[in-house]
Structure formats: C-alpha cells, structure tokens
Amino acid sequence: MNKIIEKEFFSESVVKLVVQAPYIARSRKAGHFVIVRSGDKGERIPLTIAAADPNSGTITLIIQKVGVTSAKLCELEVGDTITDVVGPLGKATHIENVGTVLASGGGVGVAPLLPIVEALKQAGNRVITVLAARQKELIILEEQMQQHSDEVIIMTDDGSYGKKGLVTHGMEEVIQREKVDLAVTVGPAIMMKFVTLLTGKYDIPTVASLNTLMVDGTGMCGACRVSVGGKTKFVCVDGPEFDAHQVDFDEMLLRLDSYKPSEAEAYESFLSSHPKSN
Amino acid sequence: MAEVSEYLKQEREKEWRVALRANMKNKERTQLERVSMSEQEADKRNKDFTEVNCGLSEEEARNEARRCLDCVNPTCITGCPVSINIPKFIKRIEQGDLLESARVLKETNALPAVCGRVCPQEVQCEEACFYTQKLNKPAVAIGHLERFVADYEQNSGQMSVPEITKLNGIKVASIGSGPAGLAFAGDMAKMGYDVTVFEALHEIGGVLKYGIPEFRLPNNIVDVEIDVLEKMGVKFIRNFIVGATASIEELRKEGFEAFMVGSGAGLPNFMHIPGENFIGIYSSNEYLTRVNLMNAADPDFDTPVLSGKKVAVIGGGNTAMDAVRTSKRLGADRSMIIYRRSIEEMPARNEEIIHAQEEGVEFMNLHNPLEYYADEKGRVCRMKVQKMELGEPDASGRRRPIPIEGSEFFMDVDTVVVSVGVSPNPLIPSSMKELDVSRWGTIVVDQDSMHSSVKGVFAGGDIVRGGATVILAMGDGRKAAGAMDDYLKSR
C-alpha cells in the first residue's frame, strides 16, 4: 500500500508521483482529493488526485515543493512508501453538458483540473483550457490537456512560452470571442480570486476548487472553513468545489497564511538539514 | 436478567468471597475513610503534559477495597454501562489477587485503564453504591480501583488476553476505532468472530487519541489496551474511510456480513458570529487534534499550532476543560473559560472544573461572545463579550441564559477555542441513502439492539447519541455486539 511506483520531475520544484492505492483508485471521481502524511512526525496535507488507474490500482499526485511536508514528499523515490494516504475525500465534481466551458488552471492547480476537464469533455462540452504559470518550466500537463480540450491557451508571466500575460488575459480573449456557459478554475487562491472577478463582470457561472489548510480532511476539525455566501462551509466535506462568486477569497487568503511565519522557519531549518532539497 | 442475578449470586457464594466477608465486620468496613488519589502539584503540572492523577498505591487500593460491603444486591453494577462485576473485581483486590481482578474487569470491559480514568463514576456506579444511596457517605472509589488494577496489570508485564471461544470465521466490521468500536470489537472477538476495525485517521483510538489530552489519558495507556485486542485477533485497518474508500456494499462483497457504525460525532459546531473565521480561532476538535494526535507542541513534529498568551475557550463541557487546560500547558498567561451559564450548570465533570481552577484557569461564567476582531494580518486580537443572567429553566432543565442589554465589553485575546458541541459525522449516512437518519443527523437505531434501518448494520456511540461519553459509547458497542451475534445466528 502507498508504494511509489513512478516518479517524474515536471520541473525542479514540481514532482509527479504515481502511488499504489487500489481502493482509492477504484472509488475516486474527478474533484476528489486525498490526505497524505510523510513520516511519523509529519503533518497531514490535502492533495488533489490528478489521475487514477483502477486496473493497476494507482493514483497520480502532483506536488509542488513549497514547505517541509511537500519537500519531504518530493524526496521520496520509486519503491518508497508514503506513510499515510487516505481518501477519496470531498464531493466529486458535478459534471453535466452545459455547452462551452472555460477552464483555467494555475501552477500545480493544473493537476486537479485535468480530471475535471476530462470529465467535462466526455460529457459533451466544448472545453477551452487556459493554463498559466510564471514561466515555461512551470507549465505542466500541457499534452494531456490538449487531449481532452478543444483548445488550450498557454499564458506565462514572462512570455517565455505561449502568450505573455496573466490567466485572466487569456480568458477574457475567449469570453469576448464566444459565449461561455461555465467557468471552472483551480489554482492559487489569488488567481482564483481574479478569475472570479473577471467572470463576474461577464455574469458567467463559475466553479472554484479550493485548496485550504486541512488536518483530518473528514469534517472533524474545521481548519478548512471558508465563507461561502456569508455562511461558514468546510472545504473537506462541503467542497472542495464551490460557486466561486459566493466565496470570500480575501478571508481564504488570510487563513492560508495562518502559519506562514512558523512554516517559513521550519522550511529553512529543513533545507539546511537536507542539502538534497536545495 | 434473572440469569444475570443468578450468576452474580453464585459468584458471591464462592468460598473465597464468603471467607473475605467474614474477615471484617461491616461496621468496621464502613468506618474506613474513602481514599483520595494523589495528584501532581497544580503549579507544576500546568506546565507539562504528564498525567495529573497519580493512581493509588497497592496499600491504598487494598484498604479502599475493604470498604466495599460485597452487598447481596450490588446496585453499583446497574450503574455501569458495561456491567462490570464490580464487587468481584474489588474483592479480588482485597484478597490481593490483582491479576485475577484485572481478568474480572476484562470479562465485560475492553478498556479498563481508559474507563478508570475518564468515566464519570460519580454519576454511574459510585452514585448507585450502597454508601451513597443508604449511608450518606462517600461511595467506594470504584473508578480509582478500576484504574489501579488495570495499571497494575499493564505494568506487570503479564497482560491476560481474554479467552476466545471457537473461531467461527464470520467476518464483521467496526466502522471507527473509538470507544464504541473497540468495545464492540472486544466482545465480538471473544465470541469467535473475525473482526476488522476500519479507522479514518492514521492512529487507532478515535476520540481517546485525538480528543482527550495526554494529562488526562496518556496515549500509551490506550495503546496497551489496543494491543490486547490485536492479540485477540482483531484486525485494524488505518486510513480507511468506509463510505468513501469503499462502500458498505463493496465490503459486503468482500465477505463482511455485519457492520457496527461507531463513526462518532465529527463535525464541530461554531456560533456563526462575526469574525469567527479569523486566524487563531479554532474548534476544540482542531486545537486538541493538533496537540494530541499531531503532537504540535513538540518542535520535532511538523504540525504547528497557534497558542498564544491570552486564550479564551468558549463552552463549559469536558472538551472545553481539556482545551483550556491544554492552553495553559502551551504557555498561556491567561486561560479563560467563557460560558453563558453559571458554574452550576456546566456540563463538565466536577473533577475537571476543579483541576482547571487549581491550574489557574479563569472562569468567566455568565458571559457570551458576540464578535471577534483581528489585526492587519487577520489574527484575532480582541473580542466583544456580553454578560448574561439566568432566567427560567429551559427544555434541558437548566436555567436559560438571558443577555443583559448594555453589558457588552471588549477584551484582548490572541487565541480562541470554540467548544460548543459537535454534530454527527455525515460521511456514513450520506453514503447510504437507505439508512434512517434523524433530523439532527444521528443514525436511528432500535434501542435494544442498536440495529439500524439497514439489515446487518448496527450503530452506537456519538453517531447515535449526538454527543455523550466514552463509557456510554462502549455500552452501545457491547449491546450492538450481543445483538449482532443474535442476528447472525438467527439468520
């Protein structure tokens, strides 16, 4: 169980792990996530399932090195096991044929976006996908997205690949060009906030998949709570997907930084004791 | 019932018991003073997580055991949700056969070292004790004695494993490894069933591990009891959420013939007042889970916890006491309980309230939070509180708190723990559409058998009760085990 059978570096800081998890591989649907813990002293973090193969009993996780826990996961090699993997958690994405869907993914948010795009396409939608990152090396899963989208638009902050500009620039071009019935966005909270402001301007229903802090992931602790339409919701059991126009992104952004000072400190001391990760 | 009282009578007439009774006159026994358990000094213990209660010495225990009159009609047993043969285990202590005493406990109780620590004996066995009922004297310290014997056995290195009747090969599952699930697993294993316990978290024990702090119930005590269950053949599967990882239907296909749902009351309640989502405001579940399960207080562990100098814990239950006492140990200068009723109405055990007071916790009774405020980084820094007064009794029989207009004031806080109850975890109910659920989200069961509306699916503990105690959950688990055995045999 939880054995890593494939590892691939998408970039220096983004790693793909294919992990043995036969039950989860069979039960999971688009939108689901898992909680993982690495090491007996590790913390529990949520990771969205990017893909799964029920036949081989594996799930695919994509991890960006941002702190101690993600760095520990990225250090694992083929043949190692992840201490704990539990799921699938959260509600699956609601999939129906609505017409044209504009999907947007930023950073490693592209990983959880892939199964959603795949399912939306399968349901008969026209799917246009905008992928955004700071620079070329951070654009991931482009080929797979091409396979399941009618069109893929690449945006980079520095113009090193695709078009130069933010995800919202790429999206607005599409919105002005054709009728969009639904927008789906997965990425850093700040990106989803601006995507939502944009689609709000054009009255486009929008779904955002939120990536908050979590501990148990089963509704027990409330670490993941967000305000949606003025009501407190738990991302782990009520989400992770919500009507983006109802989400209080500013509150979410604040809460994501709850442990920033101690995290930064912990990461520094981790890096100094693990020269490999530098 | 007739069978049970016949059995108790037979046990009482055994030679050794008769001899012990003859050793000392009842009048002498009732003259003895109830033992008081020694505790770590309040000023020291509130700085670390070592256990507060120190246990009894063998001499203290044997002396206390002499107080028990070995009544003809042992009413104490009726006060025990898991029906421990109380006089028998106590008389074994008096006799000095402590390992045998431990075996008596384990006839009906899978977790004696846990129950000896966290059961509210004062409203159960000890309330039903002859001393309380008829003599107007302090009850025999049944809880202390239970803990003494269980600890003695744990430390003896000679843990007995309860006898298993012939294995029957029938696969049954417990969903959840908290007190209901463990009690169920112990009884089913004894009856020869092939028991698997599924746990969502990475540790076995449920609320015993993530909820109750180390200073009240050390984790290693729980682990020893789990170890005994493992030796009895119970299998534990961690990181497995029935209803998500696999459904009950899928598990049926894997050969499981019946299920006991003991998934607990998972969802923490919030008050839904402004500012409640600011940084530094936790549910008691999250705060305690970070500290107890994830070891956040230990810098070697990766999980962080924010625990400041001015901590307000909202609520008056045992969990609120656990949280506020934890905050003191994490270095708070002011640890405060804010509760809307008076101290008399607090649902927490008296012992917990007294311990908290001794440790320097401030009690702001008849106060209620109205709003939280944060600094520029979103960290809570202040709260608005309103004073309350008590009116007429409400549906719960407690006097209703009424806000006093114009009494609002502000106080500085940097951490808040909201401990105002929990709601049932919806994971199992929502994965089984045909399961009858009350409007509070609890699973509806037949009171006598704990059988739910789905054949072969039983339930017990907080997922049925909504929020109760460890021992009531264990009682449910035992009841479900008995009923499941009948159900499986009568098919």
pLDDT in tens, A109-119: 999 999 999 99
User: Contacts of residue A269 in chain B, CB cutoff 8 Å?
Assistant: none
For residues B135-145, give the mean pLDDT: 96
Is the pLDDT at B394 greater than 90? The verdict is: no
Strand order in the sheet with B415-418: B281-283, B415-418, B310-314, B334-339, B362-365
Q: How far apart (Å, rounded) are the C-alpha atoms in residues A59 and B245?
A: 13
Is the pLDDT at B198 greater than 50? The verdict is: yes
Task: Say how many Å lie between the first and final Cα of chain B, rounded.
Answer: 24
Q: How far apart (Å, rounded) are the C-alpha atoms in residues A117 and A109?
A: 12
How many residues does the structure list for chain B? 491
User: Per DSSP, what are the bridge partners of residue A206?
Assistant: A183
Closest partner CB to A232 (pick from B277, B294, B378): B277
Are B279 and A43 in contact (CB < 8 Å)? no
Q: How confident is the model at residue B307 (pLDDT cuts 50, 70, 90)?
A: confident
Pairing of strands A151-156, A126-133: parallel
Q: Which residues contact B292 (CB under 8 A, 6 or more apart)?
A: B209, B210, B211, B212, B213, B214, B219
Q: How confident is the model at residue A275 (pLDDT cuts 50, 70, 90)?
A: low
pLDDT in tens, B344-385: 999 999 999 999 999 999 999 999 999 999 999 999 999 999
Is the pLDDT at B438 greater than 70? The verdict is: yes
Q: How confident is the model at residue A274 (pLDDT cuts 50, 70, 90)?
A: low
User: Contact at 8 Å (CB) between A160 and A133?
Assistant: no
What distances in angstroms separate CA B189 from CA B164, B169, B185, one per listed residue? 7, 11, 6
The reported pTM is 0.93
Q: How far apart (Å, rounded) are the C-alpha atoms in residues B77 and B478?
A: 15
CB contacts under 8 A, B 424-483 vs A, are: 425-427
Residue A124 in contact with partner chain B when CB distance is under 8 A: no
Q: How confident is the model at residue A272 (pLDDT cuts 50, 70, 90)?
A: confident
User: Contacts of residue B268 in chain A, CB cutoff 8 Å?
Assistant: 220-222
Are B246 and A263 in contact (CB < 8 Å)? no
DSSP string for residues in B397-451: SSEEEEE-TT--EEEE-SEEEE-S-EE---HHHHH-TTS-B-TTSPBP--TTT-B
Q: How far apart (Å, rounded) are the C-alpha atoms in residues B259 and B185?
A: 11
Q: How far apart (Å, rounded) are the C-alpha atoms in residues B408 and B421?
A: 24
Closest partner CB to A218 (pick from B266, B294, B303): B266
Q: Which residues contact A133 (CB under 8 A, 6 or more apart)?
A: A106, A107, A139, A140, A155, A156, A157
Please tell me which residue of chain B has the smallest CA distance to A29: B244
Closest partner CB to A87 (pick from B245, B268, B282): B245
Q: What is the pLDDT of residue B424?
A: 86
pLDDT in tens, A255-271: 998 888 777 777 777 77
Question: How much is the ipTM here?
Answer: 0.92
Closest partner CB to B286 (pick from A24, A215, A232): A215
Closest partner CB to A258 (pick from B272, B300, B306): B306
Residue A243 in contact with partner chain B when CB distance is under 8 A: no
User: Contacts of residue B245 in chain A, CB cutoff 8 Å?
Assistant: 23-24, 27, 86-88
Q: Which helix (H) or strand (E) holds B380?
A: strand B380-393
Q: What is the pLDDT of residue A277?
A: 44
User: Contact at 8 Å (CB) between A52 and A25?
Assistant: yes
B135 phi/psi in degrees, rounded to 5 = -100, -10
Q: How far apart (Å, rounded) are the C-alpha atoms in residues B320 and B373?
A: 22
Q: How far apart (Å, rounded) are the C-alpha atoms in residues A63 and A108?
A: 7
pLDDT in tens, A136-158: 888 999 999 999 999 999 999 99
User: Contacts of residue A259 in chain B, CB cutoff 8 Å?
Assistant: 304, 306
Cα dihedral angle (B277, B279, B285, B289), rounded to 10 degrees? Answer: 150
Residue B273 in contact with partner chain A when CB distance is under 8 A: no
The closest of B191, B3, B11, B167 to B91, measured between CA atoms, is: B11
Q: Name the minimum distance, in Å, from the CA of B444 to any CA of chain A.
A: 21
Q: What is the pLDDT of residue A278?
A: 40
User: Contact at 8 Å (CB) between A187 and A104?
Assistant: yes
Q: Which residues contact A187 (CB under 8 A, 6 or more apart)?
A: A104, A105, A106, A107, A109, A110, A113, A132, A167, A195
Q: How far apart (Å, rounded) are the C-alpha atoms in residues B377 and A253?
A: 10
> Which sign, positive or negative, has the C-alpha torsion B231, B237, B239, B244?
negative
